[in-house]
Structure 1
Amino acid sequence: MPNYRVQFAKQILGVPFPVGSVEIARARDPERALRAAEIRFARSRGVTDWRERADTADLAPHGEAEL
């Protein structure tokens, strides 16, 4: 199973500023990895929805999955 990194950013005047990232060690597919990262990011920030702290979530392969 591939590894993923999800980068969360807040847009200010159209410019994305990174506010955090989450690594997902194993996921069946990219959609599940993204959903898991959104939940983990929200919980780590003490909010119910990740969109309260970020505007975008970008998924990318990470680690061994890049090879």
Structure 2
Amino acid sequence: MPNYRVDFAKEILGVPFTVGSVEITRARDPERARRAAELRFARQHGVGDWRERADLALIAPRD
């Protein structure tokens, strides 16, 4: 199973600024990795929805 890194960013004047990232070590596909990372990011920041802290979730495969 591939590994993924999901970076969460806040957009300010159209420029993304990374506010956090989550490593997902095992996921069947990028969509599942993104969903797992969203839940983990929200828990880490003590919010109900990750969109309270970030505007974008960018997925990148890892080796």
TM range (shorter): over 0.9
Aligned partner of 2:34 in structure 1 is: 34
1: CA distance, partners of 2:9 / 2:42:
13
Query: Highest Rg: 1 or 2?
Result: 1
Q: Any stretches of 5+ residues in structure 2 without a counterpart?
A: none
Paired positions, count: 63
After TM superposition, which residue ranges in structure 1, 4 or more long, deviate above 3 angstroms? none
Aligned partner of 1:9 in structure 2 is: 9
Q: Any stretches of 5+ residues in structure 1 without a counterpart?
A: none
CA RMSD of aligned residues (A): 0.5
Give the alignment's TM-score, normalised by structure 2: 0.97
